[in-house]
Amino acid sequence: MVFLEFEKPLENLYEQLEKIKEVGEKGDVDVSAAIVDLENKIKLRRKEIYTNLSGWQKVQLSRHPERPYSLYYIDQICKKFIELHGDRRAGDDKAIVAGIGSIDYQTVMIIGHQKGVNTKMRQYRNFGMANPEGYRKALRLMKTAERFGFPIVCLIDTPGAFPGLEAEERGQAEAIARNLFEMAQLTVPIICIVIGEGASGGALGIGLGDRTYMLENTWFSVISPENCSTILWRTWDYKEQAAEALKLTAEHMHNFGLVDGIIKEPLGGAHTFPEETAKAVKRYIVKAISEIKQLSTEQMIHQRIEKYSNMGQYDTV
Amino acid sequence: MGWFKRLKEGISTGTNSKMETPEGLWYQCDECKTTTTQKEVKENLYKCPNCNRHTRIGSHEYFEILFDEDSYHELFGNLVSKDFIGFTDLKPYHERLTAAREKTNLNDAITVAVGLVDKKPLVVSAMDFTFIGGSMGSVVGEKIAMSIDYCIKEHLPLMIISKSGGARMMESAFSLMQMAKTSAKLTLLAKAKLPFLSFLTDPTTGGVTASYAMLGDINFSEPNALIGFAGPRIIKETIKKELPEGFQRAEFLLDKGFLDFIVDRADLRKTVGDLLKLFDDKPTFEGEKKDVIAINGREVPNVNV
């Protein structure tokens, strides 16, 4: 188990539990009462810790090294999935995975940011930071989905679009802008789910749709707390304050009316019971698709554009 | 041995004892260091008379350059930003807003006007970098959305002059969603078959580039303008190498295929006017008998002459 900073009190308790269990296995002393006692303590402590998470703590949970990534959800949700590669222009971006799959009896196009599960894979996936090829692959496959009437599911989990030299040369900004423009008019339902980090344009590049849901311990913001701190406070040290100031949690986003719902995670985060989390995600996808399918194509696109048109807070003088 | 040998290395003047030059008289170019008068620079459309460096100017200066005399008026000027999420960093956002309004005499980072360019009507939404770095918040997004609605209703073309550091952090996800909002609204303008001219000026970066600025039917820019997604400093930190000369400048983007052309500010009005005529059903180019007109050396067929 990996323990985050704020989970350290739990690490202690778990260590004690392990020790007592070892003693019990030797068979000399009856430890059952002590085990029950400790397990209760852990339960209470977990509840205490996880029911009052700060913005920054949720950011940390969203980046938990054991947290499930897009391919895990795809594997759990789809009976069949065939990954498709390449943008047909320049390359194949490993930071975004995409392909056709089946959810219950429905073929869907699934597109998601993918982070690596270990050091080597994290590099291979460029830490989930896509280049223009990733966004163009996504768009190519969305257009394919549109031609065949398949709903589109986007799983968002990125610390941002890759800020590299070649990314700029090949038009990172244009790739994201083009996706936003095209996604607004796609004639098939688009369901977006933030499963981890939702940072800025890199997240939004596959994040415009009829429904946007956020898993409970995820965030969605114009900038990561670290970068916000660097720009406004001129040092990384204020990331906790920045995380609070940005009001970036699922709860805030839902209250602001910027996302359509929150998908509950098991206590302690998605990684503690990933199968349960995947089931919940699937339920939301299936429900959203059937709801949107009630609408005519014109109504669907009209409602999608209206939804985004209404986002914004200002005064008049 | 010289009489005036410097005894101390690196003598520098403290910020407090630096002498302020009175504003409004002299102008020194950041590029070629030539000193001229402000008046000369202004008469040269705010370009350095020596090296032709295009200085940053505001929405009203662009309106004056673009529109026929006394032909334009402002739209949607009554929208102002508000601190909806209660954002505070070193200073509360609402204080930053008040300070920006006082400093710039503007209500936000974008001003919209409708007027005539060479007798052709056009809606221009122009950004001001002096207002919190030209950042895009709810007001910028809404004013662009309103400009689009206005264009569709009145059947007019749209020009957006971008000049922005990106999305406004102090409005967090609200500013992020303006990228989606403006892009989605632009699809309606496209469906109405109305031209969208995107003019990217120094600097255009971040969420503005990654939404409406890159979505023009025509994308064009001024010489040497900085245009990009990530800022040069962040890229340098990421790749840990020096950036090549001219990286993220307008000429670089033209070379990479993201701009249609670069226009000198002196030719801006004429170029926009010509484009408006060409996008019209029946263009008339009075007195011009050419079969083609050239925009920056590129020939554009003049279909109806």
Q: A313 vs B229: CB contact, 8 Å cut-off?
A: no
| pTM of the full structure | 0.91
**Closest to B136 measured CA to CA, from A209, A234, A201, A218:** A201
Q: Kindly tell me if the per-residue pLDDT of B43 is higher than 80.
A: yes
Of A222, A232, A305, the CB nearest to B175: A222
Task: Tell whether B293 is within 8 A of chain A (Cβ).
Answer: no
Do residues A231 and B169 make contact, with C-beta atoms less than 8 angstroms apart?
Answer: yes
B124 has a pLDDT exceeding 90? yes
Nearest CA to CA, how far is A8 from chain B (Å)?
29
Residues A116-141 have a mean pLDDT of 97
Task: Examine the pLDDT at B9 and tell me if it is beyond 70.
Answer: no
Is B229's CB within 8 Å of A228's CB? no
Tell whether domain B2-18+57-279 is in CATH 3.90.226.10.
yes
Residue A307: closest C-alpha in chain B: B181
Return the pLDDT at A25: 83
**Of A220, A248, A309, which is closest to B145 when you measure between CB atoms?**
A309
Phi-psi region of B164 (alpha: psi -120 to 50; beta: other; left: phi over 0): beta
Chain A residue with minimal CA distance to B87?
A245
CA dihedral B285, B291, B294, B299 (to 10 degrees): 140
Q: Do A222 and B215 touch (CB under 8 A)?
A: no
- Partners of A185 on chain B (C-beta within 8 Å) are 187
C-beta of residue B134 within 8 angstroms of C-beta of residue B128: yes
CB A151 within 8 A of CB A289: yes
Q: Are B184 and A208 in contact (CB < 8 Å)?
A: yes
Size of interface A-B (CB pairs under 8 A): 194
B82-94 pLDDT tens trace: 999 999 988 999 9
pLDDT greater than 90 at residue B22: no
In chain A, % of residues over pLDDT 70: 100
Contact B176 A168 (CB under 8 A): no
Q: Which of A271, A281, A273 is nearest to A194 (CA)?
A: A281
Minimum CA–CA partner of A176 in chain B: B210
Determine whether the interchain pair A258/B177 forms a contact, defined as Cβ–Cβ distance below 8 Å: yes
Whether residue B136 contacts residue B101, with contact meaning beta carbons closer than 8 Å, is answered with: no
Q: Is B221 on the interface with A (CB under 8 A)?
A: no
The CATH fold assigned to A59-309 is 2-enoyl-CoA Hydratase; Chain A, domain 1 (3.90.226)
pLDDT of residue A2: 87
Closest CA to B177 of B144, B210, B138: B138
* CB < 8 Å to A171, chain B: 214, 256-258
Q: Measure in Å the smallest separation between the Cα of B256 and chain A Cα atoms.
A: 7
CA–CA separation, B103 and B62 (whole Å)? 19
pLDDT-derived band at B4, boundaries 50, 70, 90: low
Dump strand ranges (E) for chain A: 80-83, 96-103, 106-113, 152-158, 190-199, 211-215, 219-221, 261-263, 314-316
Residues B163-182: tens digit of each pLDDT: 999 999 999 999 999 999 99
Residue of B nearest to A232 (CA): B89
ipTM above 0.85, yes or no: yes
Domain boundaries, chain A: 5-52, 59-309
Determine the distance in angstroms separating the CA of B141 from the nearest CA of chain A, rounded to an integer: 8
pLDDT at A31: 83
Q: Tell me the pLDDT tens digit for each residue of B259-305.
A: 999 999 999 999 999 999 999 877 777 766 555 555 555 555 554 43
Residues in chain A within 8 Å Cβ distance of B241: 165
Instruction: Tell me the nearest-neighbour CA distance from A180 into chain B, angstroms.
Output: 6
| Chain A hits for B176, Cβ within 8 Å | 200-201, 204, 220-222
Each domain of chain B, given as residue ranges in start order, spans 2-18+57-279, 20-55
| Average pLDDT of every residue of chain B | 90
